[in-house]
Structure 1
Amino acid sequence: MTTLTQEAQILNILLEKGEIDNFFCLDKRISIRLGAYIYNLRNKGYVIETHHNKKTRNTTYILKEKPKTLKKAV
């Protein structure tokens, strides 16, 4: 059995729920580097909006648009 990469897990959550946040990733032990994976997904053509909550110091990423054509991984 193979497991999904952290980036693939994050992308699946974004595609299913439309958003993901730092606290969720920490709680589910997906990644502590969510921002880095969001950066990679943006470079692949995904349009992702960032919302900072200054009170809780949590960051939420919202998927706004999928890429028109997917770039192949190198």
Structure 2
Amino acid sequence: MGVTTISREKQILNILLNKGKIDNFYCIDTRITTRLGAYICNLRNKGYIIETQRSKESRNTYYILKDIPKNLKKVG
């Protein structure tokens, strides 16, 4: 078992926070995960508002971060 410096969920969250979106093909190409939907579900359960968009042409799924949990928002 290898040492992981950052969990996959945290890696996906960082991409969403920095770029605002993430997609299945990117996660597969960069070898992050083939189960992006499961991590998105976990993040939604933690309060993140994430929209799903599916491309009919490429059959790719995009996830767009719309809002973060209220307890993580900066005040002031």
- Compute the TM-score of the two structures, normalised by the length of structure 2: 0.87
Match of 1:59 in 2: 61
Once the 2 structures are TM-superposed, how far is the Cα of residue 37 of structure 1 from its aligned partner? 0.2
Residue 37 of structure 1 pairs with residue 31 of structure 2? no
Deviation digits for residues 6-63 of structure 1 (CA, Å, limit 9, x no counterpart)? 0000000000000000000011100000000000000000000000001101000000
Structure showing greater radius of gyration is 2
User: How large is the Cα RMSD of the aligned pairs?
Assistant: 1.2
1:27 to 1, 26, 29: 29
Moved over 6 A (4+): none
Q: Distance in 2 between matches of 1:48 and 1:2?
A: 26
Q: Where in structure 1 are there 5+ consecutive unaligned residues?
A: none
Aligned residues: 70
The answer for the alignment partner of 1:15 in structure 2 is 17
Q: Give the fraction of aligned pairs with identical amino acids, expressed as a percent.
A: 67
